[in-house]
Chain A
Amino acid sequence: MTIKTFLRSACVLLALALILPAATATAQTTLRYAFQGGANSLDPYSLNETFTLGFLGNVYEGLTRRGPDLEIQPALAESWEIVEPTRWRFHLREGVKFHNGNDFTAEDVVFSLERVQAEGSDLTTRVPSDVEIEVVDDHTVDFVLSAPNPILHAEWDTWYIMDKEWAEEHDAVMPTSASGDNESHATFNTNGTGPFRLTDHEPDVRSVMEVNEDWWDEPQHNLDRVVFTPIGSDATRVAALLSGEIDMMYPVPVQDIERVNGNDGTSVMTGPELRTIFLGMDQKRDELLYSDVEGENPFKDVRVRKAMYQAIDIETIKSRIMRGLSEPSALMLSPLMFERSDEFERHPHDPEAAKALLAEAGYPDGFTVGMDCPNDRYVNDEQICQAIVSMLARIGVTVDLNAQPRAQYFAKVLASGGYDTSFYLLGWTPGSFDSHNVLVNLHGCRDDSGKGGPFNLGGYCNEKVDELTAKIGTENDPEKRNDMIAEAFRIIHEEVAHIPLHQQGLAWGVSDNITLEQRSDNQFMYQWVRKD
């Protein structure tokens, strides 16, 4: 072939490429969507993180699942009952098959329990460590607890059941440990019971799923195929939706919401998310690490904490920074997760009262404190911190802001960094959707290594709250339990253990040709997607 003919054919090829439409139309209904990150490991026990688990939730299933409003529904277990306070009986669904054709039986549940608790699993909190499992028959299992636990199954919608034979056959009995020297079959392959089967997966590039024709439940979607692409750059993700190359993407950056809504054929679905953003203060050290106050810790004084709280104008943060996409919160968890949350109200925004409180506490001229803030973790996290800096300046508190990427931020403020912070911004979603999780992790009295309340970075401590927390953990009666939760929350609120800010909003960009359900836990389930 001479150069000339080569060039000519190259030109023809190029021209053809330009003329041919981007997507060749087929009879198949394909959902194409994007998220800012990807699912790195397909092993359902290797990372306890919303996106990964949500993504795998289309392939794998747990004994329970959650509906559009997060209500717990039966899935691989048809029903369950508490036969004794410490014995839960699960009746497993019959006739369910894994994607490789194997039958789902009690044996698989036993195997999955062992595997989720094994070393290397990041989901060990799904099941209390001292649970015993007893197989009653092929489709009935009992979970025997050491103490009553009213929320035993609360997180089981993301404890996915794996096939024992498949795992043994492929040498994937142990969870894919992050520190392993070997790759695991389960990291790149899946074998679930869910509505979709994964047919192609290139980590961080593209994943393709096809509908599982043999699924036990009635599909509510009308899809044949799903193509997922992670798109990290915000602008590119928005452009991909606007140009019609994808049908759905999330999250939509708040500053682009108007643009997506203004475009023909796309709109933004917003809704409340479960994550609560809050501020914390070091109340444990006798002297703050980052402050000009010497010899004492101003945050040990409830009046100072309340002054900080009342200095913050949450409505301005909502309107200016979050562009309306946030719900100010009086509690440390979403109102969706505690039915009596309407009994609580934020301490009002009142700079004058805040100044008076500071003066009363002996800081009429305020003080200086260093603040740690992530800048790539939560929606507009750095801007929120900047706004807080200027709001606190109005009551005389000077804040030195240290905003850094999450890798550095978490290394500094968490237990591994020795809780190296005086004042910080953090977000928290209780995995169990329950108050108990918030009380333990964020409010439990802790020692220097974090035992007791690992994510209570500021070290707030109240014996009474700890006592209530312990009781809440084992109380099976919902009425009594809620009373105690309310009491604990009341104490926390009055003592300003933290300064809750808001629940950030969800923003999903959706093309007009599809309908879907937006779940507040930010998991995207193809099961409810219809595309015309």
Chain B
Amino acid sequence: MIWFVTKRFVQAILVLVVVALIAFAMFRYLGDPVNMMVGIETSIEQRDKLREQLGLNDSVVVQFGRFLERAARFEFGISYQHRKAVSALIAQRLPATLELSLVSVILALAVGIPMGVYTALRRDGLLARIFMTVSLIGVSLPTFLIGILLILFFGVILQWLPTFGRGEVVNIGGWTTGLLTPSGLQALILPAITLAIFQMTLVVRLIRAEMLEVLRTDYIKFCRARGLRTRSIHFRHALKNTLVPVITIVGLQLGTVIAFAIITETVFQWPGMGLLFIQAVTTVDIPIMAAYLMLIATFFVIINLIVDMLYFAVDPRLRVQS
């Protein structure tokens, strides 16, 4: 086990270096950050000086080396636009993104699992067909469109829910949370649904397919033969065995949800990291982009590691083999 974790750790560092390298190779095609940092009337000499001071005239290799050296000390520099330490900026925005992502994954599971089980058990039922059609729409509609439709319906027409932002937040030791105030909870509903819909449909389809397979296996037949209650067969025996692939997918998806919260955050002006990143892209704020990409890569690596370790916990066969 320890060997396994160490091996993963070394791999993780390698992944991070590669991510940083690719990122740096791409930054030069984004445009000139200096023009984004000054007003239109700023003289050419001033612009040149700034470019020199920021080290933008150095070759990509030198810039990359400098970044690595600093990153090893967990220093990510000062944002060009915000003139604020990037680590502090990200720390400020992280809670918003994590809260949104976790709530939406929980939502996706809470709604997706029962729906998946139901559609598997009542394959030809009317409701099951409706669920499947709805989930098809969920998979095929782009997130930003869902977001805008929700805003239009619940925000503008019905005026039940706020259309943007995070509402009032409470600061608990540096972690801002919107879960404790009414306006924070209200503000969370639409973005969480928007972000959850795709995951939810994925879970529904996954559970349904796995469930159908498990229900055909012999031990389920034995269960029936033993005269166990249907409910107990479905939920205690069948569902439990469908969960291994679900854990994998949901775990990996959690990383995706955090990374792709960008679109939802943009549509709802949700003050998370994704919004910070997308603004950094338009203004070529290299320190923010670099730090964000590294952080997301780290998330993926950690989540993968946890998922691998969860297998050990859930599936006894793996423990026997190792």
Interface residues of A (CB under 8 A from B): 13-14, 16-18, 20, 22, 34, 40-41, 43, 46-49, 122-125, 176-184, 187-188, 202-206, 229-233, 235-237, 239-240, 242-245, 376, 405-411, 414-417, 428-429, 431, 437, 441, 449-451, 454-455
- Which chain A residues lie closer than 8 Å to B271 at the CB level? 202, 204-206
B50 partner, pick from A34, A179, A182, A183, beta carbons under 8 A: A179
- Which chain B residues lie closer than 8 Å to A43 at the CB level? 83
- Which chain A residues lie closer than 8 Å to B41 at the CB level? 48, 125, 431, 437, 441
B11 in the interface, Cβ–Cβ < 8 Å?
A: no
Stretch touching chain A among B150-158, B208-216, B311-319? B150-158
Q: Check A16–B48 contact: CB distance below 8 A.
A: no
- Which chain A residues lie closer than 8 Å to B182 at the CB level? 16-17, 20
B183 in the interface, Cβ–Cβ < 8 Å?
A: yes
- Which chain B residues lie closer than 8 Å to A123 at the CB level? 39
Counting chain A CB atoms within 10 Å of each CB, the highest count among B46, B83, B84, B185 belongs to B83
B63 in the interface, Cβ–Cβ < 8 Å?
A: no
Report if A14-B185 is in contact (Cβ < 8 Å); known contacts: A229-B165, A232-B279, A244-B159: yes
Report if A239-B151 is in contact (Cβ < 8 Å); known contacts: A48-B38, A48-B39: yes
Report if A232-B269 is in contact (Cβ < 8 Å); known contacts: A17-B186, A40-B81, A202-B92: yes
Question: How far does the alpha carbon of A203 sit from the alpha carbon of B85 in the complex, in Å?
Answer: 13
Report if A449-B148 is in contact (Cβ < 8 Å); known contacts: A40-B82, A233-B266: no
- Which chain B residues lie closer than 8 Å to A49 at the CB level? 39
Question: How far does the alpha carbon of A16 sit from the alpha carbon of B148 in the complex, in Å?
Answer: 25
Question: How far does the alpha carbon of A125 sit from the alpha carbon of B45 in the complex, in Å?
Answer: 13
Question: How far does the alpha carbon of A422 sit from the alpha carbon of B34 in the complex, in Å?
Answer: 23
Assign chain B's interface to a size class. Answer: 35 or more
Report if A233-B43 is in contact (Cβ < 8 Å); known contacts: A178-B37, A183-B83: no
B44 in the interface, Cβ–Cβ < 8 Å?
A: yes
Q: Check B83–A176 contact: CB distance below 8 A.
A: yes
A407 partner, pick from B35, B42, B185, beta carbons under 8 A: B35
B65 in the interface, Cβ–Cβ < 8 Å?
A: no
- Which chain B residues lie closer than 8 Å to A46 at the CB level? 83
Q: Check A408–B31 contact: CB distance below 8 A.
A: yes
Report if A236-B267 is in contact (Cβ < 8 Å); known contacts: A17-B186, A187-B83, A410-B35: yes
Give the Cβ gap from A185 to chain B, nearest Cβ, in Å: 11
Report if A416-B282 is in contact (Cβ < 8 Å); known contacts: A41-B82, A48-B42: no
Question: How far does the alpha carbon of A429 sit from the alpha carbon of B41 in the complex, in Å?
Answer: 9
Question: How far does the alpha carbon of A414 sit from the alpha carbon of B39 in the complex, in Å?
Answer: 13
Q: Check B162–A245 contact: CB distance below 8 A.
A: yes
Q: Check A454–B31 contact: CB distance below 8 A.
A: no
B122 in the interface, Cβ–Cβ < 8 Å?
A: no
B42 partner, pick from A122, A176, A417, beta carbons under 8 A: A122
B276 in the interface, Cβ–Cβ < 8 Å?
A: yes
Give the Cβ gap from A256 to chain B, nearest Cβ, in Å: 12
Q: Check B269–A231 contact: CB distance below 8 A.
A: yes
Report if A417-B183 is in contact (Cβ < 8 Å); known contacts: A124-B46, A183-B85, A229-B269: no
- Which chain B residues lie closer than 8 Å to A407 at the CB level? 30-33, 35-36, 282-284
B234 in the interface, Cβ–Cβ < 8 Å?
A: no
- Which chain A residues lie closer than 8 Å to B84 at the CB level? 183, 187-188, 203
Q: Check B32–A180 contact: CB distance below 8 A.
A: no
Q: Check B36–A180 contact: CB distance below 8 A.
A: no
Report if A183-B78 is in contact (Cβ < 8 Å); known contacts: A16-B182, A47-B38, A204-B279: yes
B228 in the interface, Cβ–Cβ < 8 Å?
A: no
B53 in the interface, Cβ–Cβ < 8 Å?
A: yes
Q: A122-B39, A408-B29, A408-B30 are in contact. List 11 more A-B contacts (CB 8 A).
A: A34-B164, A178-B80, A236-B269, A243-B155, A406-B35, A410-B31, A410-B36, A411-B32, A414-B35, A431-B41, A441-B41
- Which chain A residues lie closer than 8 Å to B279 at the CB level? 204, 232
B199 in the interface, Cβ–Cβ < 8 Å?
A: no
11 contacts between A and B (CB under 8 A): A18-B186, A41-B81, A178-B50, A180-B78, A181-B77, A204-B275, A236-B163, A240-B164, A243-B155, A408-B29, A454-B44
- Which chain A residues lie closer than 8 Å to B44 at the CB level? 415-416, 449-451, 454
Question: How far does the alpha carbon of A243 sit from the alpha carbon of B156 in the complex, in Å?
Answer: 5
Give the Cβ gap from B293 to chain A, nearest Cβ, in Å: 17
- Which chain B residues lie closer than 8 Å to A245 at the CB level? 155, 162-164
Question: How far does the alpha carbon of A47 sit from the alpha carbon of B35 in the complex, in Å?
Answer: 11
B67 in the interface, Cβ–Cβ < 8 Å?
A: no
- Which chain A residues lie closer than 8 Å to B164 at the CB level? 34, 229, 231, 236-237, 239-240, 245
CB-based nearest B residue for A427: B40
- Which chain A residues lie closer than 8 Å to B77 at the CB level? 181
Q: Check B269–A416 contact: CB distance below 8 A.
A: no
Interface residues of B (CB under 8 A from A): 29-44, 46-48, 50-51, 53-54, 77-78, 80-85, 89, 92, 148, 151-152, 155-156, 159-166, 182-183, 185-186, 266-269, 271, 275-276, 278-279, 282-284
Question: How far does the alpha carbon of A187 sit from the alpha carbon of B82 in the complex, in Å?
Answer: 8
Give the Cβ gap from B134 to chain A, nearest Cβ, in Å: 23
A410 partner, pick from B32, B43, B80, B278, beta carbons under 8 A: B32
CB-based nearest A residue for B271: A205
- Which chain B residues lie closer than 8 Å to A376 at the CB level? 282
B163 partner, pick from A16, A182, A240, beta carbons under 8 A: A240
Q: Check B40–A455 contact: CB distance below 8 A.
A: yes
- Which chain B residues lie closer than 8 Å to A203 at the CB level? 82, 84, 89
Q: Check A40–B32 contact: CB distance below 8 A.
A: no
Q: Check A179–B53 contact: CB distance below 8 A.
A: yes
- Which chain A residues lie closer than 8 Å to B166 at the CB level? 205
Question: How far does the alpha carbon of A22 sit from the alpha carbon of B37 in the complex, in Å?
Answer: 37
Question: How far does the alpha carbon of A202 sit from the alpha carbon of B80 in the complex, in Å?
Answer: 16
Question: How far does the alpha carbon of A405 sit from the alpha carbon of B283 in the complex, in Å?
Answer: 10
CB-based nearest B residue for A22: B162
Q: Check A454–B43 contact: CB distance below 8 A.
A: yes
Give the Cβ gap from B91 to chain A, nearest Cβ, in Å: 13
Report if A232-B266 is in contact (Cβ < 8 Å); known contacts: A407-B36, A410-B32: yes
- Which chain A residues lie closer than 8 Å to B82 at the CB level? 40-41, 187, 203-204
Counting chain A CB atoms within 10 Å of each CB, the highest count among B32, B44, B163 belongs to B163
- Which chain A residues lie closer than 8 Å to B278 at the CB level? 232
Question: How far does the alpha carbon of A231 sit from the alpha carbon of B275 in the complex, in Å?
Answer: 10
- Which chain A residues lie closer than 8 Å to B152 at the CB level? 239
Q: Check B43–A178 contact: CB distance below 8 A.
A: no
Question: How far does the alpha carbon of A204 sit from the alpha carbon of B272 in the complex, in Å?
Answer: 10
CB-based nearest B residue for A123: B39
- Which chain A residues lie closer than 8 Å to B283 at the CB level? 407
- Which chain A residues lie closer than 8 Å to B165 at the CB level? 206, 229
Question: How far does the alpha carbon of A235 sit from the alpha carbon of B183 in the complex, in Å?
Answer: 22
CB-based nearest A residue for B39: A48
Counting chain B CB atoms within 10 Å of each CB, the highest count among A46, A49, A179, A183 belongs to A179
Question: How far does the alpha carbon of A450 sit from the alpha carbon of B43 in the complex, in Å?
Answer: 9
Question: How far does the alpha carbon of A72 sit from the alpha carbon of B284 in the complex, in Å?
Answer: 36
Report if A17-B282 is in contact (Cβ < 8 Å); known contacts: A48-B41, A179-B53, A411-B31: no
Q: Check B78–A416 contact: CB distance below 8 A.
A: no
- Which chain A residues lie closer than 8 Å to B163 at the CB level? 236, 239-240, 243, 245
Report if A416-B47 is in contact (Cβ < 8 Å); known contacts: A40-B82, A41-B83, A183-B78: yes
Counting chain B CB atoms within 10 Å of each CB, the highest count among A14, A17, A20, A123 belongs to A17
CB-based nearest B residue for A120: B50
Give the Cβ gap from B21 to chain A, nearest Cβ, in Å: 22
- Which chain B residues lie closer than 8 Å to A242 at the CB level? 156
- Which chain A residues lie closer than 8 Å to B89 at the CB level? 203
Question: How far does the alpha carbon of A382 sit from the alpha carbon of B39 in the complex, in Å?
Answer: 22
